[in-house]
Amino acid sequence: MRILKPAILLLAAVALATSAAAVDGPRHGLSSFGELKYPADFQHFEWVNPNAPKGGRLATIGTAARGTFDSFNAFILKGDPAQGLELVYDSLMTRAYDEPDAVYALVARSAEVASDRNSVTFHLRPEARFADGSALTADDVAFSFAVLKEKGHPVYRVQLRDVAKAEVLDAHTVRFTFTGRETRDLPLVVAGLPILSKAYYAAREFDQTTLERPLGSGPYAVGDFKQGSFVSYKRRADYWGKDLPVNRGRYNFDEVRFEYYRDRTAALESFKSGAFDLREEFTARDWATGYDIPAVRDGRMLLLTLPDESPSGAQGFFLNMRRAKFSDVRVRKALDYAFDFEWTNKNIFYGLYTRTESFFENSDMKASGKPGPDELALLEPLRTQLPDEVFGEVYKPPVSNGSGQDRKLLREAGRLLDEAGWQVKAGKRVNAKGDVLDVEFLITDPAMERILTAYVSNLQAVGVQASIRRVDPAQYERRLKSFDFDVVGTRFSLRLTPGLEVRSFWGSEAAKTEGSFNLAGISDPAVDALISRLSDAKSREELKTATRALDRVLRAGHYWVPQWYRPYHYIATWDRFGRPAVKPRYERGIIHTWWYDADKAAKLKPN
């Protein structure tokens, strides 16, 4: 399953938001709708061990999002960037993972939001340095904004659309000015941007893929690597910010290494043989049956279930409405009725998953029941643009009898297709023009074939000519970026305080922007209007209302076939690490809060 975040290295920019009210002078941190948990003189976050030892190595495969890489430029549309590049770059402020949307001073020692909320001024730390020893100044911050907005990945352009300019007031002061009315998120959108060296890019083309080791100011630098095989990041002993309160107890490994495997089975077997240290398991069958080995039974390997309190996001089979065959909502809804989640969960997932229902699943932004008065106040002005379904009980995917071929649901799928003008002739669904209704599922992971086989069979049973097309990771990425597919399975990882980045997923502008995350091609004025209300919310209650209203409209549009989620991270690890007593509530915390435990490592025996 491909997991998409709002940008490859937008990182904190989409995970952060800023104070909803004007601030009183310079502050050490900002939050969306409330006070900061940590005072100005805080020494470290609660979810770290401030005395954690430094040293050792963590080797992992990270997420299962990519099977290869060909570039160290994570800021552009071209290429497949290596995992872990966020370790190389600092930003003006950084996230506190035990608060939903609070950020604290990193490169910037403080920030001031103007009383009219149309600008934010950051005061930089004079001691900030890039890895080559050169000073990090306001010029670098302004350059980073300009080049990302002009030449960066399309997601940057969407996010930064209403940031008018970055002014250098002096070597250590920079002011961002905004335009428009949706300015709530913009101060921390810019605060979360990666900071690039202006001098470094004076001699290099920014918008080209490259395997030259990049220059950043963060805690790690790119070390050894082999394209498509592994990439290693080495901790910088001379990192300028290592003793800041936001960094104390973090970034403890001397080396963080990402291993690449094109096949999950091969990766699992390599892990069990000791080829690398830690693996997050995304395959239910492997979690249920793949770890019955001596190393687990005798305690050398640990199986951890870590709670995940962050939104699980929108995970499903997204239908590309740029293709005429998906333009009718009844066709899209019929595809949902043909998918038997209950059978899939029991027979393939060992009962480990729950059905995804919402675009904001596992969060208090999820709509439920009928719209209340606050939601209706937003929806009624849009009534002529919305289906009646929006104003009733919020849509939920059908629940099957678990047989794998629930005749009741398949009959409903057939009825919807009939209504949409796709009649059965010689066993195939055809329209008045004689076009055959065919649906191709584009995948790169062979594990998805096992999941899709039963679904394809159900679609064929109602006359849809369904098929599976597996391609290599590079071709898969190219086809997604150019929207060259019928259906793809994807998870969008959303943040705790949805804001401007939602445009990149479901806004009309993103629908026509190559490389955007609006894979379904949603282009709906009502959706755009609700995104604006969401982005302009002045309180968390207003935000919940607008997001729930948007969720209703999106679910009534049937732009996807919802898949599944679990509110846990399944982690398998060789027992050679220490970890803080408290896990950050909204993050795994593995790479940046765990540490290498030499005593534990010495006790491990080979298989």
Partners of residue 60 on adjacent β-strands: 258, 278
pLDDT at 10 over 50: no
pLDDT at 65 over 60: no
Q: Which helix (H) or strand (E) holds 272?
A: helix 264-272
pLDDT at 13 over 50: no
Residue 391 token pair = 């104003």
18-22, 44-48, 122-126, 572-576: the lowest-pLDDT one: 18-22
Bridge pairing between strands 119-124 and 173-178: antiparallel
pLDDT digits (tens, 9 = 90+) for 195-223: 999 999 999 999 999 999 999 999 999 99
Taking the model in full, what pTM does it have? Answer: 0.83
Residue 242 token pair = 């290592």
The CA-CA-CA angle for residues 588, 593, 595, to 5°, reads 120
Partners of residue 468 on adjacent β-strands: 441
Core vs surface per residue 226-240: b (16+ CB within 10 A) or e:
eebebbbbbbbeebb
pLDDT digits (tens, 9 = 90+) for 146-159: 999 999 998 898 88
Mean pLDDT of the chain: 92
pLDDT digits (tens, 9 = 90+) for 95-114: 999 998 889 999 999 999 99
Q: HEC states along 372-412?
A: CHHHHHHHHHHHHHCCHHHHCCCCCCCCCCCCCCCHHHHHH
Provide the angle, in degrees to the nearest 10, between the axes of the packed helices 540-557 and 525-535. 160
* Contact (CB, 8 A) for 91 and 16: no
Centre a 10 Å sphere on the Cβ of residue 224 and count the other Cβ atoms it contains.
11
Residue 401 token pair = 């009898």
Indicate the pLDDT class of residue 117, thresholds 50, 70 and 90: confident
pLDDT at 5 over 60: no
What domains are there in the chain, each with its CATH number? 2-202 (3.40.190.10), 250-309+567-603 (3.40.190), 314-565 (3.10.105.10)
pLDDT reported for residue 605: 67
pLDDT at 386 over 60: yes
Cα–Cα dist 495/499, whole Å: 9
* Contact (CB, 8 A) for 430 and 423: yes
10-24, 64-78, 418-432 — which one is most confidently predicted on average?
418-432
* Contact (CB, 8 A) for 277 and 573: yes
